[in-house]
Amino acid sequence: MKRLWLIPLLFAPGPRGAPAQDLASFVNRELPGLVGTYKDIHAHPELSHREARTSALLAGELRQAGYAVTERVGKYPDGAQAYGLVAILENGTGPRLLIRADMDALPIVEETGLSYASQVKTRNPDGQEVGVMHACGHDVHVSVMIGTARALAALKSQWRGTLMLVGQPSEETIDGAKAMLADNLYGRFGTPDFAIALHDTNLQPAGMVSFTAGNAMASSTSVDVTMRGVGSHGSRPQEGKDPVVMAAEFIVQLQTIVSRQENALDPAVVTVGDIHGGTKRNIIPDEVKMELTARAFSDAARQIILDGIRRTAQGVALAAGVPEDRAPVVNVLENESTPVLYNDPALNARLKAALAEALGPQNAVDEAPLMGSEDFGIFGLDGHKIPVVMFRLGAMDPAKFAAARAQGKWLPGPHSSRFEPLPEPTLRTGVTALASAAMALLHR
Ligand SMILES: [Zn+2]
Ligand SMILES: [Zn+2]
């Protein structure tokens, strides 16, 4: 890829006509507008694979801030073009830093009661009408990226190198990062020296950020299991093989994989989140379908779970006397699976030190790993070739947070219909943190 070498000019006006100024006063000035942008994005959430409006809004803002923007970056396995975007700002010799914000929302009816709450409804791929809500706070991430992009463009004299901002689609379906890499992201836009991102959290109040070195979020593997039986009248089970009973046995047996077969020092979770079978109380159905998620931090634990799921399904069917041609079907959905998010310990330490300086040491703390999953680690490539770090951005009203914790409770978190980031302090801290992190890595 051809690189443009820009010579920083003294007293050059920023892309918005602003003279260079320090980050805090820049953020103060930008904040009211940014809160308005946040509320607009919050009120217009879009499901994974459909981020047309959000990506266009982000592209427009980044262009206006002086970045070279490419839209529709990303290819899904079915050949569809994704709504990913890449925005480049070159500023002399120095490292190339990838900053990622994910853009998609969730099929949830919002119940926050906020004046800017989402009223959006859409049809999901099955044709059902669903509410849509930014229940994971990706609207916070997009807004923070806009503020950070403006700040770094205005403060160009304080850093050098190349910024590569990535607006990522389809994080919730964990196929967006893969789609962008499959569209030759690094071949077209350069391979970054580091990749960073933030994610909002209900585990910290607004004003704080938190860090996890090493394994930070678990791998996620999606598995479909179909227990097949032989249907019959509900009053004459002896003439069939009941897949409902087999599914029940399978689910209970599954609980022994983590508790009895897996190393207790290597955390793992297996959950059946969806189960469907049957049509009527007095009919034994032909099959029961289940959707599972497996979480793990090591390949060994992941493999033990997958082997255990297969063995348990087969064992239950065998015990029930199911004929061989009705054996259970176990399907691992590789495209709906994602590896561990591993925060490079050296980069993590560097960022934590930079943010302790920017926000005060009491506001940059360590946090335990989560069993949740994220596809951001995919930007680090196999074998952690590129160091990546995702840190967490406290998003809760500090007074409400303290009141909840005093009762031993947490405020509703990501994926809750009542997840409610407090816009102003969250965005202020987000932009300050992300811009400070970038400047620490691209220092002069
Ligand atoms: Zn999420
Ligand atoms: Zn998220």
Catalytic residue (one of 61, 90, 102, 420): 102
List pLDDT tens digits, range 86-131.
Answer: 999 999 999 999 999 999 999 999 999 999 999 999 998 888 899 9
- The amino acid at residue 428 is R
Q: What pLDDT score does 153 carry?
A: 97
Question: In the predicted model, what is the mean pLDDT of residues 9-33?
Answer: 67
Question: In the predicted model, what is the mean pLDDT of residues 341-354?
Answer: 98
Can you list the positions of beta strands (E) in 92-192? 96-102, 121-123, 129-131, 161-168
List pLDDT tens digits, range 121-150.
Answer: 999 888 889 999 999 999 999 999 999 999
CA 104–ligand 2 middle distance (angstroms): 8
CA 284–ligand 2 middle distance (angstroms): 40
Catalytic residue (one of 51, 61, 104, 172): 172
Q: What pLDDT score does 375 carry?
A: 96
- The amino acid at residue 2 is K
Q: Which position has the higher pLDDT, 15 or 153?
A: 153
CA triplet 339, 345, 347: central angle to 5 degrees? 100
Question: In the predicted model, what is the mean pLDDT of residues 49-56?
Answer: 98
To the query of whether residue 334 is one of the catalytic residues in this protein, the response is no
CA 301–ligand 2 middle distance (angstroms): 24
Q: What pLDDT score does 18 carry?
A: 37
Cβ contacts of 406 within 8 Å, gap of 6 or more: none
List pLDDT tens digits, range 260-283.
Answer: 999 999 999 999 999 999 999 999
Q: Which position has the higher pLDDT, 85 or 9?
A: 85
To the query of whether residue 40 is one of the catalytic residues in this protein, the response is no
Q: What pLDDT score does 295 carry?
A: 97
Residue 92 and residue 12: Cα distance in Å, rounded? 15
Percent with pLDDT over 90 in the chain: 92
**Residue whose C-alpha is closest to residue 262's, from 230, 295, 222:** 295
Q: What's the token pair of residue 285?
A: 């159905």
CA 372–ligand 1 middle distance (angstroms): 9
Residue 162 and residue 63: Cα distance in Å, rounded? 16
Question: In the predicted model, what is the mean pLDDT of residues 337-365?
Answer: 97
Phi, psi torsion values for 165, nearest 5 degrees: -90, 130
pLDDT higher than 80, residue 11: no
Instruction: Look at phi and psi of residue 48 and say left if phi exceeds 0, alpha if psi is from -120 to 50, else beta.
Output: beta
pLDDT higher than 90, residue 10: no
- What is residue 440's DSSP assignment? H
Residue 294 and residue 66: Cα distance in Å, rounded? 43
Q: What pLDDT score does 19 carry?
A: 34
Residue 410 and residue 394: Cα distance in Å, rounded? 13
List pLDDT tens digits, range 190-203.
Answer: 999 999 999 999 99
